[in-house]
Chains A and B, each alone.
Chain A
Amino acid sequence: MSVLGPGWTALFYLAAAVCFILALKGLSSPRTARRGNAIGATGALVAVLTVFLSAKLENIPLIIAAVAVGSAVAVPVARRVQMTQMPQLVALFNGVGGGAAALVAVLELGHSDDPWVRLAVTFTMLVGAVSFAGSAVTVGKLQELISTRPLLFPGMPVLMGAVVVGAVAAGGLVVATGSVGWALALLVLGLVAGLLLVLPVGGADVPIVISLLNAFTGLAVAASGIVLGNVLLLVAGTLVGASGTILTKVMAAAMGRGVTGIMFGAFRGGSTAGSTVQSDRPVRSSSPEDVAVQLGYAQRVVIVPGYGLAVAQGQHTIAELATALAARGVEVVFAIHPVAGRMPGHMNVLLAEANVPYEALKELEEANPEFPNTDVALIVGANDVVNPAAKSTPGAPIYGMPILEVAQAGQVVFLKRSMRPGFAGIENELLFDPKTTLLFGDAKDSLTRVLGAVKAL
């Protein structure tokens, strides 16, 4: 249908672009975040209706059916996914977006002889394919379908170099000839480049990579805007590319890492220093009753929740434990590391779900100065974020990451599943410290038993 003339079309696209800017602005503040997201969704709806009403389209029933299929797949998954698995889902959505951009670019190749447009096609295909394959690897790492440790093989940098040279050559041929065959070769090279780029990244850095690939997809969408002559795609893609780049830098800074160190650190060696073997050095293990006594007669307890708490779905139990301790007059706060869980801010989402009051959540900078006045630091399913190796062992994969300095507390209690090293794959010296005790078991089980024992005190 061509109900809307070019003027109206441009105005509606402008309105959608403004909605996207307001959405990003709103998402930057806790008060306006939800409204911001709703404004973004409205903008997307306006844009999709506009394209149906303005462009000359064939196959409309099939397109609507495809949109319906996509929605029918996405909505139930997005509504029902466990909050612990949400990072994977975001990575997955990002990957399919990159894949869609690459496909759109391939299909547009035959429609233009302009070398600049072909250059934009080349860029979109390559970056979209990198984003698709890279996101697939991050999903695999987060689901632990593939090893979370940096994966390297001999000759990998050479192979990566060859792929980059091949991609540039194939891209040049696509620009020069517009050949679909070379375009498909470019897509394959892009997919391989995506795999090679993300496989060497260590598990703890995966969230940063998701953010980076998110910015990549934004850039691919922006380039597809040039391909299709569509200003909205250009603006929206550029917005995401720019804000995603900043967000990646900010997130990396919160972990004390540089983006290049994350992407290429493994190539330089040293970052694979982690061990996967469990240590058989002696540790002091404890019982739920002992832990209950330690907590129940303390004046101040700081709880450090980590990913193990989230996978065990223990966030409600820990909220109950905090309430029970507070009822005994114990001061309880939660110290939230910026990357607790699997993504920055992930743990805040999980504890908010369990109705832990906002005031009880302390960020790293607030929490650290108070550990010396803390009787017990209770670490539930966290490891890397309290590992002193981040300060003491140059060359450790997490070296330089700010940590919660729980070692300064009077006593340290770990609730852990096993002695297995954390996501970063390195051992934690603090586990062997004389003031540390460990309670082994699933985080939720252990918490339930400690909660029962606290109530019985």
Chain B
Amino acid sequence: MMDPITLLTVVVLAVFVGFEVVSKVTSKLHTPLMSGANAIHGIILVGAIIVAGQASDPWLLTVALIAVVLATVNLVGGFVVTDRMLEMFGSRKTNRPRAGAGKDGT
């Protein structure tokens, strides 16, 4: 367990940074911003990996691996879908030839 005062310092500073960085965002970007923030809390994957790496009992390991899968879906899916939204905002300037038919081979 970390020193409680250090923890409190970290939390208070992070709250202010969190307030500050999004305070002046245009309504056009609310959806991508929500989606991006949503992807960031997928970092719970780090926690899921730690508990899965320490699980000895097969049942606990199973639950931990489910947590790993769920967290990965949140993290990876979150960043990919946010990028897709933002790709559309950027597309009118660069006028890309490919629209939708992507590099994922579909």
Q: What is A's interface to B at a CB cutoff of 8 Å? A: 16, 20-21, 23-25, 27-30, 33-34, 36-38, 40-41, 44, 47-48, 51-52, 55-60, 62-63, 66-67, 69-71, 73-81, 83, 86-87, 89-90, 93-94, 96-97, 99-101, 103-104, 106-108, 111-112, 114, 116-117, 210-211, 214, 217-218, 220-222, 224-247, 250-251, 254, 338, 343-346, 348-349, 352-353, 355, 357-358, 363
Contact = CB atoms under 8 A, between A and B. Distances in A.
B49 A48 contact: yes
25 contacts: A24-B22, A27-B29, A27-B33, A40-B40, A60-B53, A62-B65, A70-B71, A70-B72, A78-B78, A79-B80, A90-B81, A100-B45, A100-B48, A107-B55, A217-B38, A221-B47, A222-B14, A224-B44, A229-B2, A236-B41, A242-B14, A244-B18, A246-B18, A247-B34, A349-B85
A163 B46 CA distance: 31
A78 B46 contact: no
Given A27-B33, A107-B64, A235-B10, 15 more contacts: A34-B83, A47-B43, A48-B45, A59-B55, A67-B69, A78-B77, A89-B77, A100-B70, A107-B60, A107-B67, A221-B47, A230-B46, A232-B43, A343-B34, A353-B88
A103 B66 contact: yes
A243 B38 CA distance: 11
Interface string B1-37: 1101001001100111111011111111111111111
A59 B102 contact: no
Contacts of B36: 23-24, 27, 36-37, 40
Contacts of A111: 54
Contacts of B4: 116
Q: Is the interface of B mostly helix, strand, loop or mixed?
A: helix
Contacts of B70: 70, 96-97, 99-100, 103
Interface string B55-94: 1100011011111111111111111111111111111100
Contacts of B51: 104, 107-108, 228
Nearest to A41: B79
Contact of A348 (B16, B28, B46, B55): B28
Contact of A104 (B1, B15, B44, B91): B44
Contacts of B53: 55-60, 63
Which of B7, B31, B81, B88 has its CB near the most chain A CB atoms (within 10 A)?
B31
B43 A236 contact: yes
Classify chain B: how many residues form its interface, as a range.
35 or more
Contacts, number: 367
A244 B11 contact: no
A232 B44 CA distance: 10
Given A34-B83, A75-B104, A244-B34, A66 B27 contact: no
Contacts of A23: 36, 40
A66 B22 CA distance: 33
B43 A93 contact: no
